[in-house]
Amino acid sequence: NAGVTQTPKFRILKIGQSMTLQCTQDMNHNYMYWYRQDPGMGLKLIYYSVGAGITDKGEVPNGYNVSRSTTEDFPLRLELAAPSQTSVYFCASRNRPSSGAPSYEQYFGPGTRLTVT
Amino acid sequence: DAKTTQPNSMESNEEEPVHLPCNHSTISGTDYIHWYRQLPSQGPEYVIHGLTSNVNNRMASLAIAEDRKSSTLILHRATLRDAAVYYCILRDVSNTGKLIFGQGTTLQVKP
């Protein structure tokens, strides 16, 4: 299993441009999450999804959109990039908890480093 | 969401035990205590979690106070590869499993 993969690894955007950060997981996990991490800070939740077709806002959703048409993919869309969106973006996934499940462990991707200038 | 308090940084010598403290005085009865760590330039990775009893796994041990208002992550023999930011997180009680990250403790391991 590749786990959680993210593309691209790095990207530089000009103010006002748009882009989509891709996230794919091959573990058949129901739950997926997008976080952002500013320098020296902990991660903040942007959006999450509990299954295909279901998404909800996290702590910092403004300026972003998501969709979940398949179990595997959870893309994050930036419509009008702003310098405040310069950050490292992490995607994560976890399985649906069930009795006997060992943990609610989230698996994180390697991140996308985005700079908006 | 209940919050956690951790020291900003700690130092340890290689091959010595490390005790990373976490205070969570407003924890509710159904909050699980999770620990994640983030190695430099990587995404976070799960370390351990617990509810009331102390827990051990291949990576670490988790000691939970009897009143559950604090916990301690124990690395039994620190290695240079353990240098990371360690996050103590109280897992969202809803089934969505959202993680609310604080700033964590930066652990430096000296050879």
Handedness of CA A83, B97, B34, B56 (dihedral sign): negative
DSSP string computed for A2-24:
--EEEE-SEEEE-TT--EEEEEE
User: Greater confidence, A100 or A18?
Assistant: A18
Res B73: pLDDT: 98
User: Greater confidence, A102 or A64?
Assistant: A64
Whole-Å CA distances, A110 to A6, A45, A47, B87: 7, 16, 18, 17
Over 60: is that where the pLDDT of A103 sits? Answer: no
Which of the residues B96, B100, B103, B106 would you substitute to probe the A interface, choosing the one with the greatest number of A C-beta atoms within 10 Å?
B96
pLDDT mean over B68-93: 93
As a whole number of Å, the CA-based R_g of chain A is 14
Is residue B22 classed as helix, strand or coil in its secondary structure? strand
Over 60: is that where the pLDDT of A101 sits? Answer: no
Res A99: pLDDT: 53
Query: Considering only CB atoms, which chain B residues are within 8 Å of A105?
Result: 46, 49
User: Pairing relation of β-strands A10-13 and A112-116?
Assistant: parallel
Residues 10-29 of A with CB under 8 A from B: none
* Structure tokens given for B25: 């005085």
Res A97: pLDDT: 63
- Give residue B94's pLDDT band: very low, low, confident or very high (50, 70, 90): low
Residue A89 touches partner B, C-beta closer than 8 Å: no
